Structure 1
């Protein structure tokens, strides 16, 4: 069985370049959750040294996107109930704080960027491209953290961002109906509340936005893919 193909790195020997290419491949579905990642195969696919791949994988491990265990080697993280609950619970708390902070700090340009992201989501709905829609979704939340202007808060978001992306990708892979029906309306509501809304309502909406995604993912996995205990 041939190994999944990934784009060759543009620059040789750079760990971040290797990490970017492997991350892209994971998000493209080339390496589903639980898939092994072998240094020698990745080095050949990316046309970089094994040392660069090893350092790149270390970057992805710091992001929580992959795990290395002596008896299993390096694998893409799997979706277990415990992992899903942990990631989405942390995200709910961070997103709530980011939204409330952005509400007090966002300038007109930052607010306009939120609207631009939502408009792009609305335009993308007709294409049926779930991964592209998800990329715009993540960009919207990146914009909220940028508007909040808190470096440590942004660093906390970036620590789980790749895991959130993978989990959300799994959610839409299992079925896009729920996601597509709500994605534009929920993000437009968040943008409106950040612009001029009650802070407590904003906090509740931001948290429910995340918990709704968590519940949907767990339900779909339970029905379509037996979950391992975690």
Structure 2
């Protein structure tokens, strides 16, 4: 008798991964706003693939928190509720506190230079969606500089939802957004370079509070 298989044969998931990347990018670029329907048939036709990879991609994006599925509506881009906003803000704050502490205590000059480089890219952002992308990449650099693998993994687990959080923020109001965000991040870099944990943590908290307050303006 043949030996019983302990694991199932592997399946190639490259196509579903690519489809997920394309849909995610469409959300982040503003092509699909929160609440937009994501119809399998339309997506499959637009991407030139069968519905199978689209279905797998949507499930993956649902696990990221970027998509929600309901039996009577199908898949839609997640619309953040007030509770979602509050939970994301508090969780992001908890993770960011540890990240900042780690950076202040352990980051190398090269690490800080990478964070500063990410901040400078904001000065070249052409629109609000590109600025949000640069904002997320700045925080990517902070978590990378923290040198804490599990902390970075925790950030990656909520990264798409934080991106959606910031997209929702500019959807509520983008007044002054392009002009103020680069300066805020330059201040964050300057604070990190001082290695003064309290001052730096206060500035990061203030930076998060701005977005949270804008979102709380929603009726």
Same fold (TM over 0.5): yes
Instruction: State the 1:203 CA deviation.
Output: 1.9
The CA distance in 1 between the partners of 2:174 and 2:34, in whole Å, is 18
**Could you tell me which residue of structure 1 aligns to residue 109 of structure 2?**
108
Instruction: State the 1:207 CA deviation.
Output: 2.1
Asked if 1:192 is matched to 2:190, the reply is yes
CA gap of 1:76–1:47, structure 2 versus 1, over 3 A, is same
In 2, are the aligned partners of 1:171 and 1:217 still within 8 Å (CA)?
yes
The CA distance in 2 between the partners of 1:20 and 1:147, in whole Å, is 25
Instruction: State the 1:181 CA deviation.
Output: 4.1
The CA distance in 2 between the partners of 1:44 and 1:180, in whole Å, is 35
Instruction: State the 1:78 CA deviation.
Output: 0.8
Asked if 1:75 is matched to 2:76, the reply is yes
**Could you tell me which residue of structure 2 aligns to residue 218 of structure 1?**
216
Instruction: State the 1:147 CA deviation.
Output: 0.4
The CA distance in 2 between the partners of 1:30 and 1:88, in whole Å, is 25
The CA distance in 2 between the partners of 1:174 and 1:212, in whole Å, is 13
In 2, are the aligned partners of 1:97 and 1:203 still within 8 Å (CA)?
no
* Residue ranges of structure 2 left out of the alignment (5+ in a row): 1-12
RMSD over aligned CA atoms reads 1.8
- Mean alpha-carbon deviation: is it higher for 201-210 or for 148-157? 201-210
In 2, are the aligned partners of 1:35 and 1:75 still within 8 Å (CA)?
yes
1:9-57 C-alpha deviation (Å, 9 max, x unpaired): xxx9611100000011111222211122121221111111211111111
The CA distance in 1 between the partners of 2:176 and 2:65, in whole Å, is 26
In 2, are the aligned partners of 1:43 and 1:50 still within 8 Å (CA)?
yes
- Please point out which of 139, 148, 152 is paired with 1:150: 148
**Could you tell me which residue of structure 1 aligns to residue 35 of structure 2?**
34
- Please point out which of 128, 136, 139 is paired with 2:137: 139
Q: Secondary structure at the match of 2:216?
A: helix
Write out the 4+ residue segments of structure 1 that deviate beyond 3 Å after TM superposition.
Answer: none
**Could you tell me which residue of structure 1 aligns to residue 4 of structure 2?**
none
In 2, are the aligned partners of 1:100 and 1:194 still within 8 Å (CA)?
no
TM-score where L is the length of structure 1? 0.83
The CA distance in 2 between the partners of 1:92 and 1:49, in whole Å, is 41
The CA distance in 2 between the partners of 1:194 and 1:155, in whole Å, is 22
The CA distance in 2 between the partners of 1:137 and 1:107, in whole Å, is 21
* Residue ranges of structure 1 left out of the alignment (5+ in a row): 1-11, 223-230
TM-score where L is the length of structure 2? 0.87
